[in-house]
Structure 1
Amino acid sequence: MKTLITASALLLCSVAYAHNCPNEMKAIDAKLGTSPSLSMQDMDKVKSLRAQGEKMHKEGKHDESMKALGDAKKLLGL
Structure 2
Amino acid sequence: MKLILAAAALAASSLALAHNCPNEMKAIDAKLASNPKLSAADMGKVKALRAEGETFHKAGKHDESMKALGDAKKLLGL
- TM-score when scaled to structure 1? 0.99
Q: How does 1:28-47 map to 2 (within 5 A)?
A: 28-47=28-47
Measured in 2, the distance between the counterparts of 1:9 and 1:66 equals 19
Amino acid at match of 1:74: K
Measured in 1, the distance between the counterparts of 2:3 and 2:71 equals 35
Measured on the aligned residues, the alpha-carbon RMSD in Å equals 0.4
Query: Once superposed, which parts of structure 1, at least 4 consecutive aligned residues long, lie more than 6 Å away?
Result: none
1:3 corresponding residue in structure 2: 3
Measured in 2, the distance between the counterparts of 1:21 and 1:71 equals 13
1:61 corresponding residue in structure 2: 61
1:49 corresponding residue in structure 2: 49
| Identity of matched residues, % | 72
- TM-score when scaled to structure 2? 0.99
Aligned to 1:36, what secondary structure does the other structure show? coil
Measured in 2, the distance between the counterparts of 1:64 and 1:5 equals 26
Aligned to 1:20, what secondary structure does the other structure show? helix
Measured in 2, the distance between the counterparts of 1:74 and 1:27 equals 12
Measured in 1, the distance between the counterparts of 2:19 and 2:49 equals 18
Measured in 1, the distance between the counterparts of 2:74 and 2:34 equals 16
